[in-house]
């Protein structure tokens, strides 16, 4: 029994000593469990800050360029009341080139972009082509307006058509007059985007 009392007394003394040491350490400014200690000779810079949680990286969508940027700007200035989509360039082959542009071949053209209605059979088509250097841009515009089939869709017809140029770019737009849009709006939007209409082709 005497030994047990001695052991308990020793344990009590050790406990008091530990509590005293802990209190002294805290009083001297030691870190608590929720604090971060930075050595006095170490400087924390913004690059050293820790960001909690997963970092969310947003997808970066590349800006459109060339003819696609021109079409986007035209639609921004003169929206159409239906879903219009762009025909991928790789889908415009030698067989379909005449269908979309009215020209027999693509030898005078560097680039072509076609935008048409993606819903139902609506007689609407907006075509932009970039003419190769040295080629007659106005002659290309004439060939497009006189070669395009305005009844290329089943059961509908684009009875209104305009073809204009600026620099080496030609725009052909044709629509059904019963649609809730006017064809002159496209020409005005094109002019505002590129700066001026330099030539307008006439249907022979």
- Going residue by residue through the chain, which has 204 residues, state the pLDDT in tens, using 9 for 90 and above: 444 444 444 444 434 343 344 444 444 444 433 333 333 444 444 444 444 455 544 444 334 459 999 999 999 999 999 999 999 888 899 889 999 999 999 999 999 999 999 987 799 999 999 999 999 999 999 999 999 999 999 889 999 999 999 999 999 999 999 998 999 999 999 999 999 999 999 999
**155 HSE (CA, 13 A, CB side):** 3
Q: How many whole angstroms separate alpha carbon 190 and alpha carbon 98?
A: 23
**At 97, is the secondary structure helix, strand, or coil?**
helix
Instruction: Sketch the domain layout of the chain as residue ranges.
Output: 2-48, 66-200
Are 186 and 140 within 8 A, CB to CB?
A: no
> Considering the entire predicted model, what is its pTM?
0.69
Q: How many whole angstroms separate alpha carbon 21 and alpha carbon 18?
A: 5
Q: How many whole angstroms separate alpha carbon 183 and alpha carbon 177?
A: 8
């Amino acid at each position: 029994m005497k030994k047990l009392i001695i052991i308990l007394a020793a344990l009590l003394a050790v406990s008091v000593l530990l509590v005293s040491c802990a209190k002294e350490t805290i009083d001297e400014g030691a870190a608590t469990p929720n604090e971060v200690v930075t050595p006095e000779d170490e400087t924390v810079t913004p690059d050293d800050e820790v960001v909690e949680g997963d970092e969310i990286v947003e997808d970066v969508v590349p800006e459109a360029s060339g003819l696609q940027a021109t079409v986007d700007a035209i639609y921004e200035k003169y929206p159409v009341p239906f879903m219009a989509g762009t025909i991928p360039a790789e889908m415009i082959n030698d067989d379909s080139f005449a269908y979309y542009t009215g020209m027999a071949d693509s030898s005078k053209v560097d680039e072509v972009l076609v935008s048409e209605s993606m819903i139902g059979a609506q007689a609407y088509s907006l075509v932009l082509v970039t003419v190769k250097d040295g080629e007659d841009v106005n002659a290309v515009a004439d060939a497009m307006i006189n070669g395009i089939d305005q009844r290329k869709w089943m059961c509908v017809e684009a009875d209104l058509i305009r073809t204009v140029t600026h620099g080496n770019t030609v725009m052909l737009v044709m629509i059904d007059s019963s649609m809730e849009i006017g064809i002159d709006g496209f020409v005005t939007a094109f002019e505002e985007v590129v700066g001026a209409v330099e030539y307008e082709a006439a249907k022979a």
